[in-house]
Amino acid sequence: MPAMYEKPNLDGHDVLYKGKRYWVFKIDKNHPFQDYENDCSILVFDKHCGAVIAWCNLDSNNIYNGYIVYGQGSVDIQGETPKSLVECLIKKSKWIEKN
């Protein structure tokens, strides 16, 4: 079990949001992270469990779109800013926990 609030090992990554529990950061070929750079350009890292929790991209309208895994499927998340993306993730995570 990872330590409480484990920070991701980021080397030159553009960090878009640093909350107490969740960090949002960009990835690309020059700044990879756990081989996710072929699937998305932005990750949400949950420091509480020490893992990536959401895979996202910035669309042509500058809206952050992504998903979190839920069972055998996924739940979409969206935000106008990295912070609002995390707020959506928290809201959807609470919904998942209730259902």
E strand segments, 27-71: 42-46, 51-58, 64-70
24-67: per-residue pLDDT in tens? 999 999 999 999 999 999 999 999 999 999 999 999 999 999 99
What residue numbers bound the domain in which 81 lies? 15-98
**75: in domain:** yes
Global pTM value = 0.91
Asked if residue 9 belongs to a domain, the reply is no
- Alpha-carbon distance 72 to 27, whole Å? 25
pLDDT at position 68 over 90: yes
Q: How many domains in the chain?
A: 1
Please report whether residue 7 resides in a domain. no
The overall average pLDDT reported for the chain is: 93
Q: Do the domain assignments include residue 82?
A: yes
Q: Give domain status of residue 32, yes or no.
A: yes
